[in-house]
Amino acid sequence: MKTPKVSVIVPNYNHARFLDQRLSSIFAQTFGDFELLFLDDASTDDSRSVFEKYAGDPRVRAIFNSSNGGSTFKQWNRGVREASGEYIWIAESDDYADPRLLAELISQLEQHASCGIAYCQSVEVDDQGNIGRNLQWTTDQLDPTRWERDYTNSGEDECRRFLLIGNTLPNASAVVFRRALYNQVGGADESMKLCGDWLLWTELLAISDLAYVAEPLNFFRQHDATVRSHRSNTLLAILERYKIMESIVRRNMVPVTLLEPACQKMADIWEYHSHLDPASSLGMQWKVYREAVKVDSRITRRLYLKTIQPWLGSIKNRLLKRTAPRR
């Protein structure tokens, strides 16, 4: 049997309501040389019955976990281990794609042998199917025009100037990458809960380059479950972002002109969310600090100036008011 060019991995957990649109958008691709690996992580909804509609296609294989693995990135690694294609597309089960996504991204990787990742622009879509914003709004603060047109760039430069600050590849469903490079970096870090995709991109780009297609060919689903996840894991996300910064700095020579503003921005984000949630776990705060100090030698001073010094000043002012002579 001929080895497929692309392995499409669909990790799923309780996305039955979106699954038909996801799978039909894969089979509608103009690039048809693929296998589809459906990985269901012990869904409790109707996902299996939705999938059965597509199970008869000879390109399809399925793995149904008997119990939930608790990690998106375990599913990614399982899927890639089972894959045989030269390229991998992790097509998340709640998203869907334009029919030309695979053709356009595979073309980029075929044209640019040094590129390990190709990705396209995405558009938001809600749980009712309403089309929202182009995701360029997430990168405008980094560069308002960069993502308006196609480009290729060295992975090292992309990490130093952009991925150090933010995840400019915010949705895995918009990404196709080389399986050999994924295996070379050891796959996704299964200890990561929220930012494992971001860390993976930096590891792949430490050994390869990047191609970007400005046309929005991916539809990135926004719904209640994703919003709740982000809101409830703020400090964990900050901890993982510091781990990503450390990974980039360790692999690349990041000039102080780029590192300093990135470190200041992260300190500001940490302080802001700590102020919003003063009852947050001291243990988690300490974990964040230990990770931050690996990459930011000035983190203690930054936190002192932003939190401890104003706190001491407020105490001093209250004491002065108490001891001031009454008129």
Please indicate, yes or no, whether residues 110 and 179 belong to a single structural domain of this protein: yes
Domain count, the chain: 2
Q: Do residues 215 and 302 both lie within one domain?
A: no
In CATH, what number is assigned to the domain containing residue 206? 3.90.550.10
Q: Could you tell me if 105 and 213 are in contact, meaning their C-beta atoms sit under 8 angstroms apart? A: yes
List alpha helices for 28-153, DSSP H. Answer: 47-52, 72-82, 101-111
On whether residue 213 sits in a domain, the answer given is: yes
Helix axes 234-251, 196-205, angle to 10 degrees: 10
> Quick count: other Cβ atoms within 10 Å of Cβ 82?
14
What distances in angstroms separate CA 179 from CA 7, 23, 84, 204, 233, one per listed residue? 9, 21, 9, 10, 30
- Pair 15, 119 in one domain: yes
Over residues 280-291, the pLDDT tens digits come to 678 888 999 999
pLDDT given at position 323: 61
Residues 6+ apart with CB under 8 A from 240: 192, 193, 194, 195, 196, 198, 199
- Same domain as 184, residue 217: yes
Does residue 310 belong to any structural domain of this protein? yes
Residue ending a domain, among 200, 230, 260, is 230
Within a domain: residue 45?
yes
Alpha carbon separation from 28 to 73, 95, 102 (Å, rounded): 26, 14, 10
Residues 173 and 292 placed together within one structural domain of the fold: no
On whether both 115 and 37 belong to a single domain, the answer is yes
For residue 127, tell me if it sits in a domain. Answer: yes
Domain holding 224, by residue range, is: 6-230
Are residue 247 and residue 319 in the same domain, yes or no?
A: yes
In this structure, are 211 and 239 located in the same domain? no
Is 115 domain-assigned?
yes
Q: Do the domain assignments include residue 1?
A: no
Asked if residue 210 is part of any domain, the answer here is: yes
Backbone angles phi, psi at 81, to 5 degrees: -60, -35
Considering the domain boundaries, does residue 302 fall inside one?
yes
Regarding whether 108 and 194 lie in a shared domain, the answer is yes
Domain check: are 179 and 53 in the same one?
A: yes
Question: What's the pLDDT score for residue 276?
Answer: 62
DSSP state of 189: -
319 CB burial (10 A radius; 0-12, 13-18, 19+): exposed
**Res 310: pLDDT:** 52
Residues 31 and 56 in one domain: yes
Which of 230, 254, 289 delimits the end of a domain? 230
pLDDT at 274: 77
**Closest by Cα among 158, 159, 233 to 195:** 233
Domain termination residue (choose one: 230, 245, 265):
230
Q: What is the pLDDT of residue 285?
A: 87
Which residue numbers in the chain have pLDDT < 50? Answer: 227-232, 311-313, 315-316
Using CA atoms, how far apart are residues 171 and 314, in angstroms rounded to an integer?
A: 43
Do 166 and 249 share a domain, yes or no?
Answer: no
Give the C-alpha separation, 140 to 142, whole Å: 5
